[in-house]
Amino acid sequence: MKKLLIGLLVLVTVGLTGCSVSEGAADSSKAAQKESTAFTGKYIVNADYVKKNLDDLILIDARGEEEAGKGTIKGATAIGWQNLASVEEGASGDKNWGLILDPAELSKRLGEKGIAKDKEIILFANGAKGWGDDGRIAWELLAAGYQDVKLVDGGFAALTKAGLKKDFESTKLKSVDVQIDSINSEHLIRTEELKKNYDEYKVVDVRSDEEYKGEVLYGEAKGGHLPDAIHLRYTDLFGKNGQLKSKEKLTQLFEDAGLAKEDQIVTYCTAGIRSAYMELVMEMCGFKQVKNYDGSYYRWAKVEDVEK
C-alpha cells in the first residue's frame, strides 16, 4: 500500500510539473507572438517604455490643450499641431496656411513650451481614432533638427491601459533656449515643387474613402483627389487593437498598392497631419524617399485641378 501511494504521488507530481512547463511554454509563445506582431522602428515606443522612463523625458500630449483638459497623462505638456504651424492669418488653402513656421518663430514657440533639443521627446495622440497629430509634430521636430523624437504606439489609450496616472491639467514646462537655424526639407514638399515634378512622384492620398471620392467635409475648395493618387487610408496603418500593424504587414500593404522602396513618394491628406504620420511610418518601413506635403489637399484643391 505504501509503495502504491508513493507511486501515485510521483505520477501526480510529474503531471503537475508537465502542466506547469506546458503553461509556461504557452505563455512564452504568446509573448513572442505579440512581440513579433508589434511594430518596431526608431520613432516608435510602447506604453511600458514611457512608464519606465517618464522622469527622464518630455511627454507631449499632441491633442492640444482642449483635449488634454478632458483628461491627459500626468506630467504631459499639451501642444496642438496648430501651435507650430502658420494658421493665425488667412484661411485654409491660402499659400502659407498650415505650413511649418519659419525657424525663428518655431524656435521661439518651442522654447516657450520648454521643448529642449537635448531631451528625449515622446508624443501621443489618439492613434487610429485621431488625426495623427503626434506624427505631424514629430515630423516638424525632426525637420527642425531634434534628434530623439518618438511616438507612443496606441497613443493615449495605450498609456492609460498601461496604468499611467491621469490628470486634467497639462504640465507647464520651464521655458528654454531653442535655436533652429533651418528646416530640413528632405521629407517636405510644397505645391510649386510637386506641380513642377509631378510625374517623378508616386502620390499617396491618406484620407478617408469619402474624402478621396469627392465629398467636401472640412471646407476644401472642391472635392476629389490629386491626379492618379494612390489611396492608402491613415487608418489602414492600425490593427484592431488600435496599435500599428507589424512592419511586415505594412510593408506588404505599401507594396501591394504599387509602391517600391526606391520610389519617390509624396503623402498628403487635408492639412498635412495624417500624411506626416504616414511619412514617418513609411520611412521606418524602408521607404526612404518619402515627402509630406504640408500644404496638402487644402492648398492643391484651391489652386490646381483634381480628379474624382
Domain boundaries, the chain: 44-167, 188-303
Q: How far apart are CA 24 and CA 82, in angstroms?
A: 49
- What band does 231 get if pLDDT is binned at 50, 70 and 90? very high
pLDDT of residue 37: 85
| C-beta neighbour count of 209 within 10 angstroms | 10
Average pLDDT for 94-122: 98
Q: Is the pLDDT reported for residue 285 higher than 50?
A: yes
Q: Under CATH, to which class is 44-167 assigned?
A: alpha beta
The C-alpha angle 20, 21, 23, rounded to 5 degrees, equals: 65
- pLDDT > 90: percent of the chain: 88
The amino acid occupying position 265 is I
- What band does 36 get if pLDDT is binned at 50, 70 and 90? low
Q: Is the pLDDT reported for residue 282 higher than 50?
A: yes
Name the residue with cell 510529474: 14
Q: Which of 4-13, 138-147, 184-193 has the lowest mean pLDDT?
A: 4-13
- Continuous segment of H or E residues that includes residue 121: strand 120-124
Q: Which of 32-36, 71-75, 80-84, 107-111 has the lowest mean pLDDT?
A: 32-36
pLDDT of residue 12: 38
Q: Does residue 303 contact residue 192 with C-beta atoms inside 8 Å? A: no
Equal CATH topology for 44-167 and 188-303: yes
Q: Is the pLDDT reported for residue 3 higher than 70?
A: no
Q: How far apart are CA 94 and CA 76, in angstroms?
A: 33
Average pLDDT for 120-127: 98
Q: Is the pLDDT reported for residue 164 higher than 80?
A: yes
Supply the mean pLDDT for the chain.
91
Q: Is the pLDDT reported for residue 23 higher than 90?
A: no
Q: How far apart are CA 58 and CA 173, in angstroms?
A: 9
pLDDT of residue 131: 97
- Continuous segment of H or E residues that includes residue 188: strand 188-189
- What band does 150 get if pLDDT is binned at 50, 70 and 90? very high
Average pLDDT for 192-198: 98
The three grid cell numbers given for residue 162, joined into one nine-digit string:
498601461
The three grid cell numbers given for residue 269, joined into one nine-digit string:
491628406
Backbone angles phi, psi at 135, to 5 degrees: -65, -40
Q: Is the pLDDT reported for residue 34 higher than 90?
A: no
Q: How far apart are CA 248 and CA 106, in angstroms?
A: 36
Q: Is the pLDDT reported for residue 230 higher than 50?
A: yes
CATH architecture for segment(s) 188-303:
3-Layer(aba) Sandwich (3.40)
- pLDDT > 70: percent of the chain: 88
Q: What is the value of pTM for the model shown?
A: 0.89
Q: Is the pLDDT reported for residue 13 higher than 80?
A: no
